[in-house]
Structure 1
Amino acid sequence: MRRVALIYNPASGQHSGRRSSHIQSALAVLRDAGIDAEALETHAPGSGKSLALAAVRQGYDAVIACGGDGTVHEVLQSLVGTNVALGVIPLGTANALAQNLGLGRHPVKAMRALVNAEPVEIPVGRIHFREENGARGWRYFTVAAGVGADALLMSSMDPGLKRRFGYALYMLEAFKIWASHPFPLFDASFSIDGNAEPRVEQVSQLLAIRIRSFGGALGVLAPGATLHKKDLSLVAFKTRSRLQYLRFLLATLVGRQTFSRTIELLDADAVECRVLNGSKSRVFVEADGEVLGVLPARIELARETLILLVPPHAEP
């Protein structure tokens, strides 16, 4: 790396008051290594994408997203398909990509690891969806994309409370959804191994997972998923049973989840999701923890790739 832009969200995470100190320390690490570095602050939703695009046009060879998975998600949109590498510094509430890369939770230690990181070309996911206004949209993703209750969870999170209570708020909101959500079924059409005839299932929750481990309590959700994988690792919940949801979640927290015909782990090239005929349910869609819209949706791997800064000894 010769020239690096640090893009940070001043409101991300529970400790935003320390943000300036962390950013200045990260800049010092880069400059001590002889790297030309500049910090750029986001000012509104979506501005991370604009700042990253400007960095690409101005000739930076790496952009480091300093924040949670939402900040990474914004920056990612402008870097896929370019020669500019993406790095990650954990400064948010959820830092799944950083944890998967073995970067820990300390921003300065993570920055030191990134100084010695290798640029690695990886596939990325892409999700197509319908926005609330009816328009069609799409996004790249690196961590996971979800359709169903997990996206409803993200839509229910109050940003202010999220900054104040952090991961505890996720747990509280997840319990409320588990206790009250009807888990409506929708159609999922899986394209597997290039077969012309898709496999169709009715599911209440679908997750497309791109990382080996989320870190923390959740850990490994989909065994076999990695950033290098050239198809999708999908977890399909073909049930509306609260008890089966609870059993699976508790087993996952202790690393002992199993899969079956009811909650299935499968590989696919792509999956298309639609509401059932006659259903009036609004089924939400998310990627990397960001609520995007509602069904219909298609999840696939993008033709474009991403250059990711992978620290030494990481197992992405």
Structure 2
Amino acid sequence: MLAVTAHDLVPPGPVAVLANPTAGRGRHEGLLPQLLERLGAAGRPVELLRARTPEEAEAACHAAVADGAGALVAVGGDGTVHRALQAVAGTTVPFGPVPAGTGNDFAVDTGFPADPLAAVEVIADALRAGRARPVDLARLTSPGGGERWYGAVLAAGFDAIVNERANRMRWPRGPRRYDLAILVELARLRPRRYRLRLDGAEHEVDAVLVAVGNTASYGGGMRICPDADPHDGLLDVVVGGRFDRPTLMRVKPRIYQGTHVTHPLVRSYRARTVELDAEGITTYADGERAFDLPVRVSAVPAAVRLLR
């Protein structure tokens, strides 16, 4: 970990807070006043950003940074963090994720406590000390010029297909919709031909799953890229090959421990840049819908400074 220097001092300005009251199905909603109070105890003005949709949330974060916020804090899950990262990536404005969602993979994998109150104490202490620690992000670009930053994992296989299916469904509500989407897509499971270019080296593989990780986990603790390190300037690429349905269902529970990478149908790579293409895939970054393939992913060292 890099030592704290004068360069790491938190800029002046208020602490902007993006909070998602529906994160984690609302189970932490009542904590927000306590979280804001503890942030305020760090001695800075605290401004709660107003937003009704994810798009408004992202715009509010950009506006706060442009208006001189000294720090940005996101209270929610990986989706909320993803929106906030678009505003702070590549800037000197430090960032604090408070894990309060269903999936909190970026916060936990970068060293924050899983408990929201404990995490906000870490952030407040960093604000008081003027401390910020750099970590890498991944920059996702499309041929049309679109760009997104992500902190955890890009899904570009069966997992992304399930997300896309679940997002199109209007019934049932809640987690059962995702479970039903898994069943539907398992019935349609087939390997696809992927074209990978890893730091210029080309690979063609038949696979049902491809993940590109800046950190290890996605989906609320599934260690899909178990060796990914957000401080090494590299991306971890995990490819699940020609799995049939029974084998995939047997291997899936092993993802939580990260032991799936020892299966003979799984291959792991590491690269600074990843170019990825296959037909009919819409990618998901940090669980959020991103671009259709093809895409390019680049590791960007020290792209964000975390308040910890």
Give the TM-score normalised by structure 2. Answer: 0.83
Once the two structures are superposed, the pairs formed by residues 177-256 of structure 1 within 5 Å of their partners are 177=184, 179-192=186-199, 196-213=200-217, 218=222, 220-256=223-259
Q: Distance in 1 between matches of 2:209 and 2:26?
A: 32
Is 1:13 the equivalent of 2:17?
A: no
Change (3 A) 1:185 1:233: same
Distance in 2 between residues matched to 1:92 and 1:206, nearest whole Å: 24
Within 5 Å, which residues of 2 pair with 1:1-316? 1=10, 3-15=14-26, 19=29, 21-117=30-126, 118-129=131-142, 136-157=145-166, 165=174, 170=178, 172-173=179-180, 175-177=182-184, 179-192=186-199, 196-213=200-217, 218=222, 220-260=223-263, 262-275=265-278, 281-302=279-300, 305-310=303-308
Q: Which amino acid aligns with 1:126?
A: R
**How far did residue 188 of structure 1 move?**
2.5
Q: Structure 1 residues 270, 202: CA separation in 2 closer, same or farther (over 3 Å shift)?
A: farther
> Contact between 1:259 and 1:265, CA under 8 Å: does it hold in 2?
no
Kept in 1: contact 2:189–2:244 (CA 8 A): no
TM-fit CA distance, 1:183: 3.1
The answer (yes or no) to whether the contact 2:78–2:286 under 8 Å persists in 1 is yes
1:159 Cα deviation from its structure 2 partner: 10
User: Displacement, 1:270?
Assistant: 2.2
Instruction: Deviation per CA, 1:99-146: give whole Å up to 9, x if none.
Output: 22443443222211211234112221112237xxxx552211100111
Judged with a 3 Å threshold, the aligned counterparts in structure 2 of structure 1 residues 253 and 82 are, in CA distance, closer, same or farther, namely closer
Question: Is the Cα contact below 8 Å between 1:23 and 1:39 reproduced in 2?
Answer: no
C-alpha distance after superposition, 1:195-240 (max 9, x if no partner): x54333333321011224559652x332321111211111011214
Task: Report Cα offsets for 1:135-171 as digits up to 9, x if no partner.
Answer: 55221110011112111222233599999745x765x
SS of the residue corresponding to residue 132 of structure 2 reads strand
Structure 1 residues 283 and 213, CA, compared in 2 at 3 Å: closer, same or farther?
closer
Q: CA 1:254 to 1:148, structure 2 compared with 1: closer, same or farther past 3 Å?
A: closer
Q: How many residues align?
A: 293
Cα pair 1:235 1:265 within 8 Å, conserved = yes
TM-score by length of 1: 0.81
Asked if structure 1 preserves the Cα contact closer than 8 Å seen for 2:160 and 2:284, the reply is yes
1:278 matched to which residue of 2? Answer: none
Conserved? CA contact 1:214–1:221, under 8 Å: yes
- Distance change (3 Å), C-alpha of 1:267 and 1:162: farther
Over the matched positions of the two proteins, sequence identity in percent amounts to: 25
1:272 deviates by: 1.9
**What's the CA shift for 1:86?**
1.2
Which deviates further from its counterpart, 253-262 or 79-88? 253-262
Which amino acid counterpart does residue 120 of structure 1 have in structure 2? R
Cα offset, 1:89, TM superposition: 1.0
| Structure 2 counterpart of 1:313 | none
Give the CA RMSD over aligned residues.
2.9
Cα deviation for residue 175 of structure 1 reads 3.7
Answer yes or no: is the 8 Å Cα contact 2:152–2:217 preserved in 1. no
Where 2:24 maps in the other structure, the secondary structure is coil
Is the contact between residue 122 and residue 306 of structure 1 (CA under 8 Å) also seen in structure 2?
A: yes
Displacement of 1:37: 1.0
